[in-house]
Amino acid sequence: MSKSSVLFLGAVLLAGCGVVPLPAVGIPDQALKLPASAGFEQYVAYDGSDAFAGTSLPSLLSQVRVSGQVQYGGMGDLSEVAVYLRSSLPSCTALPGSSMQLCAVSGESAQKIGTLSLKGGEVTGFQLSGSALDRAAKAGHGYFGVQALSGASLPGDQLKLSGMKASARL
């Protein structure tokens, strides 16, 4: 067997093991509008926009991670949120006057991809991962949802996710 054949075979075997990192893919910035959290602590609020629209994420991905920056803006004092992701917008309870869907948190555990710590007005870094992110990346569609864990959001508050990059392994 030639040297190049051995190298090619080795690369194929490594790819099959999920150890070949792929170049990071940019994800468009997102502004997630938040409902007032009072009374909705046991719900995940899914934003109505597809975060992965316009990206070219390869369908043979695993161990997907999204990193970026988050900034919380508004009049509330929200300091921590759980983040969820779905490959299609769920049909739960529509929030009147918006494209948001509210889903009971008790049925969303498989969609959780991380937690964000927030500091009003400050930009902080984040990293998200999990099987729901793998599924959404493979589908090429991703709808973010958030659940207030600490503090409260008020009408008009939002999370700005920016500088997002998806990295994965083949």
Q: In tens digits, what is the pLDDT along the chain, a chain of 170 residues?
A: 433 333 333 333 344 444 566 778 888 999 999 988 887 889 999 988 898 887 766 666 678 899 999 999 999 999 999 999 999 988 899 888 888 899 999 999 999 999 999 988 899 999 999 999 989 988 889 999 999 999 999 988 999 999 999 888 76
Query: CA–CA separation, 159 vs 115, rounded Å?
Result: 13
Alpha carbon distance, N-terminus to C-terminus of the chain: 26
- The set of residues, in sequence order, having a beta carbon less than 8 Å from that of 88 and lying 6+ positions away, is 139, 141, 143
Query: CA–CA separation, 86 vs 14, rounded Å?
Result: 29
Predicted TM-score (pTM) of the model is: 0.84
Q: Is the dihedral of CA 52, 53, 55, 61 positive or negative?
A: positive
Domain boundaries, the chain: 21-169
Q: What's the fold here for domain 21-169?
A: Jelly Rolls (2.60.120)
